[in-house]
């Protein structure tokens, strides 16, 4: 997908949610509402479905959860929790990590049944 700026926009870029400059009109409120909605949905459905590529590594979804929640998420049980709750499924593929050189298993949220589950901190 290619994003192109509209005629009123000179440029655009991805920003960290904690580093968004002052916005016009009610755009700050829109951003805050969207973030609150994402934080609420994180406990009810696989949010990575629309925010990650079809196949992703555990560090990628872990970083997504930390960004959305705005706090560190304990790595020790993260994978097990997502698999147990059916929010991700592990694939038989590996991807070599550019940072460590170690292979990391690929995961997916595709073709999962979205079902509500009890709210529990990650």
- The 3-state DSSP class for residue 5 equals coil
Euclidean distance between CA atoms 75 and 37, whole angstroms? 23
Q: In what order do the strands lie in the sheet with 103-108?
A: 56-57, 103-108, 89-96
**What pLDDT, in 10s, does the model give residues 53-99?**
888 888 888 998 898 888 999 988 888 888 888 788 888 777 766 66
pTM of full prediction above 0.85: no
Judged by average pLDDT, the poorest of 41-45, 75-79, 90-94, 101-105 is: 101-105
The predicted structure's pLDDT at residue 115: 43
* Mean predicted confidence (pLDDT) in 96-104: 64
Is it the case that residue 29 has pLDDT exceeding 80?
A: yes
User: Which neighbouring-strand residues pair with 103?
Assistant: 96
Indicate the pairing of strand 56-57 with strand 89-96.
unpaired
To which H or E segment does residue 91 belong? Answer: strand 89-96
pLDDT at position 36 is 92
Dihedral over Cα of 104, 109, 115, 117: its sign: positive
Determine the pLDDT at residue 80: 87
pLDDT grade for 117, boundaries at 50, 70 and 90: very low
Residue 96's φ and ψ, nearest 5 degrees, are -75, 130
Averaged pLDDT of the chain: 78
Whether residue 30 is predicted with pLDDT greater than 90 in this model: the reply is yes
State residue 114's pLDDT score.
Answer: 39
């Amino acid at each position: 997908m290619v994003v192109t700026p509209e005629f009123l926009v000179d440029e655009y870029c991805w920003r960290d949610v904690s580093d968004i400059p002052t916005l016009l009109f009610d755009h700050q409120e829109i951003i805050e509402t969207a973030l609150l909605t994402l934080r609420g949905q994180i406990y009810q459905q696989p949010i990575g479905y629309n925010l990650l590529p079809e196949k992703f590594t555990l560090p990628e979804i872990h970083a997504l959860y930390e960004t959305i929640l705005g706090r560190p998420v304990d790595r020790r049980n993260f994978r097990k929790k997502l698999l147990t709750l059916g929010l991700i499924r592990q694939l038989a593929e590996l991807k070599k990590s550019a940072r460590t050189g170690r292979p990391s298993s690929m995961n997916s949220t595709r073709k999962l049944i979205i079902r509500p589950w009890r709210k529990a901190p990650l």
